Amino acid sequence: MRARPGFGHLLLVMPLVAAAAWIHWRGTRERDDPAQILSVLRANAAPTLPAPASCRATSRSQVESYDRTSLYTLIDGAAESYLARGFERCVAALYTFSESGSSPTEVTAEVYRFATPAGARELFHEEAPSQGRAVAGVADAVTDGTVLLAVAGRDLLKATAVSGGGDATPFLAAVARAWHGEVPQ
């Protein structure tokens, strides 16, 4: 014999109904944007350099990291102006691009993280090559074929060709494009 639903049963179901209603309300009112979450996560992560495959490099040296106390070991006296602009961290590596029939092209890449976007942008304007040209596909990037500077959010990318053989723009731009695709905006 079945018991008929009573007030007691209703009391048992009510919390479940309330929880479901609250979840539904949250879902419609405060839906999290996955892109925003990713952006926040990336902004709080350490600065990164692109994987060699993503910029079509043959190889990349071990990535070295620097902080406010060790930056001078990478850039000596230039460190002071970086520190004054809120430098936080840096990663650096050497990329090698090998093409059949020509000697390899090597590019050093350094990404400097600042406390605010203003710090990165100030140094971008200070160090950008005076006769630089824009880099296709990368906003806020300039190169003169030997050096490339790009800025995105709190990060400043500086890439320098360190092997002979003419215009290194294709390799510098490849690093910048790959980096720009990963950097927090």
Partner 1 sequence: MSHDASTFDRRELLRRLSAAGLAAGAVAAGAAFFHDRHTPSSRPRAIPDWRLPGAAGYPAVVAARGPDPAANVRRAVAALGGMERFVRPGERVLVKPNVGWDRLPEQAANTDPAVVAELVRLCRSAGARRVVVTDISCNDPRRCFARSGIAAAVAAAGGEVIVSDRLRLVPADLAGVAQGLEVVEELLTAERVINVPVVKHHRLSGATLGMKNWFGVLGAGRNRLHQSVHRAIAELAATFRPTLTVVDATRVLLANGPQGGSLADVREVGAVAAGTDPVLCDAWGAVQLGVRPTDLASIQEAAQRGLGRAEVGLVQELGTA
Binding site for partner 1 (CB under 8 A): 72-81, 94, 108, 127, 129-131, 144-147, 158, 160-164
Q: Which pair of structure tokens corresponds to residue 39?
A: 């952006």
Compute the least distance from the CB of residue 80 to partner 1, in Å.
Answer: 5
The least distance separating partner 1 from the CB of residue 35, rounded to whole angstroms, comes to 35
Q: Which residue has the tokens 């952006």?
A: 39
CA distance 18 to 23: 9
CA distance 101 to 144: 25
DSSP state of 168: -
Residues 179, 137: Cα–Cα separation, whole Å: 12
Q: Which is nearer to partner 1, 163 or 185 (CB)?
A: 163
d(CA 32, CA 114): 27
- Residue 171 beta carbon to partner 1: minimum distance, rounded to whole angstroms: 14
Residue number, 39 or 96, with CB nearest to partner 1:
96
CB of 167 to partner 1, least distance (A): 11
Task: Decide: helix, strand or coil at residue 42.
Answer: helix
In the complex with partner 1, the residue whose CB is nearer, 80 or 182, is: 80
Closest contact distance (angstroms) between CB of 94 and partner 1 is 7
Number of CB atoms found within 10 A of residue 183's CB: 22
> Given the complex with partner 1, which of 92 and 138 has the nearer CB atom?
92
Q: Which is nearer to partner 1, 43 or 74 (CB)?
A: 74
The helix/strand/coil state of 162 is coil
Beta carbon nearer to partner 1, 109 or 152: 109
Find the shortest distance in angstroms from Cβ 36 to partner 1.
36
- For the stretch 21-28, contacts whose Cβ atoms lie closer than 8 Å and that sit 24 or more positions apart, written own/partner, are none
